[in-house]
């Protein structure tokens, strides 16, 4: 249960109808605003306005922009083990295809979502860069590459990351017209062989 | 010649020693701050402090952050025709390698420079995204691909952009440790075949 202050007036204790929903609405609004403006450009005021909530309530619940960023963007529940398992489940020769398709399908559903927020926030925000690295390399690509048992797993993971991150920037952040509207199958067909070569091919 | 106000005091007319240098120093400082913090995170105050110049002088010369961004990041003189010509000069089968090497060499020299500033500023700043698109696709990749005479030149240009942008983000913006320190030759060897396939290969 959460305390719900009604803003600048004296804080009232105890759960109130809609409290959890309001909190969830704030987290959604925060994620949207961080996606659109990045960490530095996002303001508590803009986030509160997006959720139609008094700005004081945002401070009450999350304490600071940093805290809100952590909860809205970084701590998004994510079934990492499940994801790594699904990527590894199948022919290694088609792992590149599974990575590209899984990434695009997840991101398209969320309009780029958390990933775009991390990329945009990476600007002046070292922590966002660490989380982007942890998310992509440490938690997903490095374990997958190690499980496959290739040489240079870390460098290969890094190469895969460059291609996947580049797609995300062009499609969700910079939103180059033609590429943002291209359907997933066409991108997978074109890009999967790249990622496959970075995983199992000759990279010298 | 430029007018040089000494800040908050009454403006004095007429050129003063060091005026041009101070202006150039301000543009350099602006570029650095935009690279580090992106458009939204950069402040006129921070830029003035970096150049060791009174903030009022920044307003005096550039009018607004938008004006300063345009002059420091967008209007950087760049020999586009020369670049396109050099990329096209040589075996088409090695065009991918020339693109990756040229891009990395230019960006490494400038620590990611203008390109990183555009990427970082793309966040909440539509104009930066337009300029990133114009810079990469309209001015460089699309003309090069058209000159080569391949099918689907626009989609191929977009694919090349995803790979090149991804390298820039991982190397200069997010600065993933291992990849930021990797030498250019190693990256070219690994990535050039990708870009080559996007240009002349089967992308279906």
Confidence band, pLDDT 50/70/90 cuts, at residue B193: very high
Query: Candidates 1.10.357.10, 1.25.10.10, 3.20.20.140, 1.10.20.10; correct CATH number of B80-200?
Result: 1.10.357.10
Residue A188: closest CA among chain B residues belongs to which residue?
B203
CB contact under 8 A, B176 and A204: no
> Is A91 strand, coil or helix?
coil
The answer to whether the predicted template modeling score (pTM) of the entire model surpasses 0.80 is no
CB contact under 8 A, A170 and B161: yes
**Alpha-carbon distance values, A128 to A26, A94, A115, A119, A194 (Å):** 20, 31, 10, 8, 27
CA nearest to B197, candidates B103, B115, B106, B99: B99
Residue B13 has pLDDT above 50, yes or no: no
Residue B154: closest CA among chain A residues belongs to which residue?
A178
Residue A162 has pLDDT above 50, yes or no: yes
Give yes or no for A127 touching B (CB within 8 A).
no
Give yes or no for B204 touching A (CB within 8 A).
yes
CB contact under 8 A, A124 and B41: yes
Task: Mutate one of B150, B166, B167 to test the A interface: name it (highest A CB count within 10 A).
Answer: B166
Fold classification of A19-74 (topology level) = Arc Repressor Mutant, subunit A (1.10.10)
ipTM of the complex in this document: 0.76
**Alpha-carbon distance values, B104 to A167, A179, B63 (Å):** 18, 23, 34
Give yes or no for B181 touching A (CB within 8 A).
no
CA–CA distance, B90 with B86 (Å, rounded to integer):
8
Give yes or no for B203 touching A (CB within 8 A).
yes
Give the pLDDT score at A134: 83
Give yes or no for A130 touching B (CB within 8 A).
no
Residue A134: closest CA among chain B residues belongs to which residue?
B176
Per residue in A82-110, pLDDT (tens digit) is 889 999 999 999 999 999 999 998 888 76
- Where exactly does CATH 1.10.357.10 map onto chain A? 80-200
Per residue in B116-157, pLDDT (tens digit) is 777 766 555 666 777 788 888 998 999 999 999 999 999 999
- Where exactly does CATH 1.10.10.60 map onto chain B? 19-74
Chain B closest CA to A42's CA: distance in Å? Answer: 9
C-alpha R_g of chain B: 20
Range with lowest mean pLDDT among A32-41, B54-63, B94-103, B162-171: A32-41
> Is B27 strand, coil or helix?
helix
Range with lowest mean pLDDT among B5-9, B131-135, B179-183: B5-9
Chain A closest CA to B147's CA: distance in Å? Answer: 20
């Amino acid at each position: 249960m959460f305390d719900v202050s009604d803003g600048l007036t004296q804080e009232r204790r105890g759960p109130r109808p809609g409290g959890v929903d309001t909190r969830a609405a704030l987290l959604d609004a925060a994620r949207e605003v961080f996606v659109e403006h990045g960490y530095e450009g996002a303001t508590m005021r803009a986030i509160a306005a997006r959720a139609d909530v008094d700005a004081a309530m945002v401070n009450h619940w999350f304490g600071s922009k940093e805290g809100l960023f952590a909860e809205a963007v970084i701590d998004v529940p994510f079934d990492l083990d499940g994801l790594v398992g699904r990527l590894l489940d199948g022919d290694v020769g088609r792992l590149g295809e599974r990575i590209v398709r899984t990434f695009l399908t997840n991101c398209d559903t969320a309009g780029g979502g958390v990933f775009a927020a991390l990329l945009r926030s990476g600007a002046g925000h070292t922590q966002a860069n660490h989380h982007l690295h942890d998310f992509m390399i440490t938690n997903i690509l490095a374990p997958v590459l190690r499980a496959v048992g290739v040489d240079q797993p870390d460098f290969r993971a890094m190469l895969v990351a460059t291609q996947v991150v580049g797609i995300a920037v062009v499609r969700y952040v910079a939103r180059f017209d033609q590429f943002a509207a291209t359907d997933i199958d066409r991108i997978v067909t074109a890009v999967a062989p790249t990622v496959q070569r970075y995983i199992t091919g000759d990279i010298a």
